[in-house]
Structure 1
C-alpha cells in the first residue's frame, strides 16, 4: 500500500458521551496515535469519497453490499460534519427514488438482500430530516413485516447468518429515524431467534444450520449486526441481556482466532485459509464498538481491535480499493468450496466494513 499522510488534529479517541449506565468510555490511547496513514479520519474520508464516484456493482438492481457501503459513507459524513460529502451521497441516491432516472435499479424481491435498500433513505432522513426519504425508508421497513410468520418474525426470515445484519439493520434504522419502538422490538426478537438457533457453543456461527463452516464474512455480518443493535437498544429492553450475552461469547471466540498479523482468516478456524479483509474489518468494527461502550474489557479487547484496524488498512491500495475481499459466497457444505473462494479488489463487501470501522473509531457519542 502506498504511504498516506496523517491529517493533523485527527488523533482524538472519540469516547465522550455515555448512553447507558453500563457504558464506560475508554480513556487511554488505544484508539489514538496511529501510524502514518492509518488514522480513521483519513482512511474513512478517502474510501467515502471513492464510493461517491464508484459505479454500481454485481447486479442490475442495487446490490446489498453497495447499500452497506453507502451507509458507512453517510455515517462518516455525519461524524465528521462533512456536509459536502453528505450532499454528494444524497444526490447519488436521488435517481433511485420512485420515478427517478435510475428507478429501474430499485430491487423488488421480498428478500433480505433487497429490502436492506431502505437503509440508505432512512439514514439520509436521520441526518437531513427530509420527509421524502423518511417515507421511502419506512415503506421498505414496513414491507419487510407485511406478511409475518406465525411466531411474529419477518416473512423474510431464513436463518442464514448474513441476515443478522442484513435483516436487522433495516428495522434498526427505521427505529433511529422514527423513534417508533415497534421497529426495535421486531429487531430484537429477530436477533434473539437467530442467536438461539445458530450460535454454537464456541461462540461462532455456522454459515447456515446445514453448512457447518465458520465462514469469515458470514460471522462478520453477525458481529456487526449485534454491535449496531446494542448501540441503540436501551439498557432496560427485555432482549438486551440475551443479545449482549451472545455478542460477548462471540467476541471471546474471535479473540482466540485473530492471527499474529492482526487479521482473521476466510474460514475463521482454518490456519490454511487466507487472511480476509471484509471479515477482519467487521470484527474490528464490532470490537472497537464494544470497547468504546464498555461492553468488553478494554485491556483485553482494545489492543486486538487496534491490531485489527491497522492490519485491515494495510489491505487498502493506492486507489483506495480494499484488496483480498472474499467474493460473494452462497452456502455449501464443502470445505474445498470455501477455501477456493476468489479474492476481489474494490468489492463493496470490503469497502463497506472498513468505513464502518473508521466510523466506530471516530464516533464520539454513544447513542
Structure 2
C-alpha cells in the first residue's frame, strides 16, 4: 500500500511537471509567434514592401521625411508619386487613402496650400503638385484645382537667368541646380498638357521645359567626363562657384539622379512631334554613358561620383536608386539601348545585397542615404568634397525610398 501511495505521488508530480512543461512550451511558442508577426509580408514585391514600410515609419503622409509637423514639400511628392504607381498596380485602398490624406490635410476649402509660400519662388515646392494632378480628376474637388493653379502661377512668375533658366529659389539668385528640373518640369509640362486650352500656350510651355534642359546641358555639363556639376551660378558671385564657368566643384550623385529622373519623366508628356524631344533623348543617352563609366563594381554609385577611391567617399543609396529607375525606365520606353537595362539590374542587385536590410517584423530599410546636400545658404555650404561626404548619412531617407519603389516597379522585382 505504501509503495502504491509512493507511485501515485510520483505519478502526480510527473503529471504536474508534464503539464507545466506543456504550458511553458505553449507559452514559448506563443512568444515566438509574436516575435515573427510580420507588419510587412515578405511574399510581396519589393515596391509594395517598401511602400508599406514607409507607411509604418510615417503613418501620416504629411510627416514624411522625419517631420514633426505637417508640411508641403518635394519629398512627400516624391514618395506619393511612387505610392500612386503602387496603388495603380495593386488596387489596395490603403495606398490611395495615404495619398489622399496628404492633400486633404494640407489644402483647405479655398485651395490654399498650408506651409507653402508663393513669394519664396522655390522650385522644390512644385513637386507635390504631381499628387494633385492625380487626385483632381478622380475627386473633382475644386480646392485641388485651385492649388494646382497656384503652383502653375509660380512657374509663370519664377525669376530667371538672363538666358531663361529658372532660379532654384528666390533666395538663390541667378542659380540653376540639377535638382530643379525634377522638382518643377514634370508638373509644369503635364499641367500645361492637361489644363491649358490654347494650343499656342501649350506649345510655349513645351518649349520652355525643353529650354531648361538645353541650358543645363550648356552650362553644367563637363565635356571631358560627360558628368554634370550640381549647380551653376550665372553671376559667379557665390563662393562655391568657379569664377570662370560659374559651376560648383563636384559631381554629386543625387544631383545627377534628379536630372536623370527628370528626363525620363518629362518625356512621358512631351509630344512625339516636338523638336526638343530628340534633344532630350540625346541628353539622356549622354547621361547614361557618363554615369555607367563611374559605376562601382558592386553595382552602386559613390556619393561624389568620380572619386570612388578617395578617403571618406561612400557608396550611396539615393543616387543609386535614382539611376536604377532612370535606366530601367529609359530602356523600357526605348529611349536608351537595352544594355542599360542590365546596368539597372546590376545596380538593383547591388542595393539589395549591400544597402537593404529587413527587420524581424518585415520592415524594409534602405541604408546609407545622404540626408541632405545643397549649395550656399546659412550655414554656408561650399560644395567642397569634404562638404558632400560630411553631410548627414541616414537610413530610409525618402529621397531614396521613393526612387527605390519606382525602380522596383520598373524592374518588376
**Greater C-alpha radius of gyration:** 2
Instruction: Evaluate the alpha carbon distance shift between residue 68 and residue 288 of structure 1 in structure 2; reply closer, same or farther with a 3 A threshold.
Output: same
Distance 1:167 1:53, change over 3 A: same
Name the structure 1 match of 2:4: none
Extract structure 1 runs of 4+ deviating beyond 6 A: none
**Runs of at least 5 residues in structure 2 that lack an aligned partner in the other structure:** 1-37, 169-173, 233-240, 242-247, 376-381
Query: Which deviations, in whole Å up to 9, do the C-alpha atoms of 1:234-288 show, x marking residues without a partner?
Result: 2211111111111100101111111121111111111132110000000000000
Verify the 8 A CA contact 1:44 1:358 in the aligned structure 2. no
Relative CO higher for 1 or 2, CA cutoff 8 Å, sep ≥ 6?
1
Of residues 138, 142, 153, the one that matches 1:142 is 153
Q: 1:161 aligns with which of 178, 183, 186?
A: 178
Which of 91, 96, 99 lines up with 2:106 in the alignment? 96
Partner in structure 2 of residue 208 of structure 1:
231
1:119 to 130, 133, 136: 130
Aligned to 1:270, which of 304, 307, 321?
A: 307
Shift of 1:64: 2.0
Deviates more, 1:323-332 or 1:75-84: 75-84
Indicate yes or no: 2:329 matched with 1:289.
yes
Query: Which residue of the partner structure matches residue 132 of structure 1?
Result: 143
Residues paired across the two proteins, number: 330
Could you say what secondary structure the match of 1:105 adopts? coil
TM-score by length of 2: 0.71
Structure 2 counterpart SS, 1:247: helix
Query: Retained in 2: the 8 A contact 1:72–1:352?
Result: yes
Between the aligned partners of 2:96 and 2:78, the Cα distance in structure 1 is 15
User: Residue 296 of structure 2 aligns with which residue?
Assistant: 259
111-120 or 126-135, which moves further after superposition? Answer: 126-135
Aligned-residue offset at 1:43: 3.5
Q: How many Å apart are 1:45 and its aligned residue? A: 4.1
Q: Which residue of 2 is the match for residue 110 of structure 1?
A: 121
How many angstroms does 1:179 deviate by?
6.4
- Structure 2 partner of 1:221: 258
Query: 1:5-154, aligned counterparts within 5 Å?
Result: 5-7=42-44, 39-47=45-53, 49-50=55-56, 53-54=59-60, 55-57=63-65, 61-98=71-108, 104-108=114-118, 109-125=120-136, 128=139, 130-146=141-157, 149=160, 151=163, 153-154=165-166
- Is 1:323 the counterpart of 2:360? The answer is no
Deviation track 1:61-106 (CA, whole Å, cap 9, x = no partner) reads: 4332222112221232124333441133102321100359x96433
- Name the SS for the 1:57 alignment partner: coil
CA distance in 1: counterparts of 2:337 and 2:113, whole angstroms: 47
Q: Structure 1 residues 75 and 42, CA, compared in 2 at 3 Å: closer, same or farther?
A: closer
SS at match of 1:159: strand
Consecutive unaligned residues of structure 1, counting only runs of 5 or more, are 8-38
TM-score normalised over the length of structure 1 = 0.79
1:230 and 2:267 are equivalent in the alignment: yes
- Aligned partner of 1:11 in structure 2 is none
* Residue of structure 2 aligned with 1:190, choices 181, 189, 212: 212
Name the Cα RMSD after superposition.
3.0
Of stretches 86-95 and 214-223 in structure 1, the one that deviates more from structure 2 is: 86-95
Partner residue, 2:340: 301
Tell me the equivalent position of 2:238: none
**Residues 270-320 of structure 1, C-alpha deviations (whole Å, 9 max, x = no match):** 11321100000000000001110112221x212111121232244333333
